[in-house]
């Protein structure tokens, strides 16, 4: 494959990753505002929200270094999608469980995107972008692992709170 084509694809995928991080930021913000009864999850979400903001900046730096830029249209579409996801979750009584499940799924989507970016950057001979994407991928993997560990506790806490609320309502 010709080098210019690889560079073009890599830049496109980096723009996609930037939009993906925009979406993640909005999703995490929406989720963090509604999980005060789940302190471990809230702490993880807050930590990853800060991490996500840094990831977005690092992707921007990669694009700038490569002579490219973000895609405003993709960023707006990603934010809109995240807003719809946030609104949709507020109507479910078990939104915290479904939100944690959705976050776990989204982390794996991000992991797969960064693995593709690493391969593309290596093919393009862009070791700095490969390094940055490898670091971000590790952060996404750590968050996915944390969510995997927290999901059972989130589910049982939700069920206990729900049963208690139902018992109190019957009184």
Q: What is the pLDDT of residue 63?
A: 95
At CA 35, angle to CA 90 and CA 162, rounded to 5? 75
Phi, psi of 32 (to 5 degrees): -65, -25
Q: Residues 120-129: what's their mean pLDDT? A: 97
What is the average pLDDT score of the chain? 87
- Asked if the model's pLDDT at residue 71 lies above 90, the reply is no
- Residue 64 CB-density burial (10 A; 0-12 exposed, 13-18 middle, 19+ buried): exposed
pLDDT tens digits, residue range 10-62? 999 999 999 999 999 998 998 888 788 899 999 999 999 999 999 999 999 99
- Asked if the model's pLDDT at residue 75 lies above 50, the reply is no
Q: What is the pLDDT of residue 82?
A: 46
More confident residue, 47 or 88: 47
More confident residue, 77 or 136: 136
At CA 11, angle to CA 108 and CA 139, rounded to 5? 30
Q: How far apart are CA 94 and CA 80, in angstroms?
A: 23
* Structural domains in the chain plus CATH codes: 3-170 (1.20.1260.10)
**Percent over 90 (pLDDT), the chain:** 67
Q: What is the pLDDT of residue 81?
A: 52
């Amino acid at each position: 494959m010709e080098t210019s084509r690889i560079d073009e694809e890599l830049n496109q995928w980096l723009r996609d990753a930037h939009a993906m991080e925009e979406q993640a930021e909005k999703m995490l913000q929406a989720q963090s505002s509604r999980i005060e009864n789940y302190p471990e999850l809230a702490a993880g979400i807050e930590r990853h929200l800060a991490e996500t903001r840094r990831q977005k900046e690092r992707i921007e730096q990669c694009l700038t270094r490569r002579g490219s830029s973000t895609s405003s249209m993709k960023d707006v579409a990603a934010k809109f999608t995240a807003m719809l996801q946030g609104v949709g979750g507020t109507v479910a009584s078990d939104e915290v469980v479904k939100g944690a499940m959705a976050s776990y799924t989204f982390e794996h989507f991000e992991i797969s995107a960064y693995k593709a970016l690493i391969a593309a950057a290596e093919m393009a001979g862009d070791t700095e972008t490969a390094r940055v994407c490898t670091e971000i991928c590790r952060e996404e993997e750590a968050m996915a692992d944390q969510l995997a560990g927290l999901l059972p506790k989130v589910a049982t806490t939700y069920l206990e709170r729900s049963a208690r609320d139902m018992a109190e309502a019957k009184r």
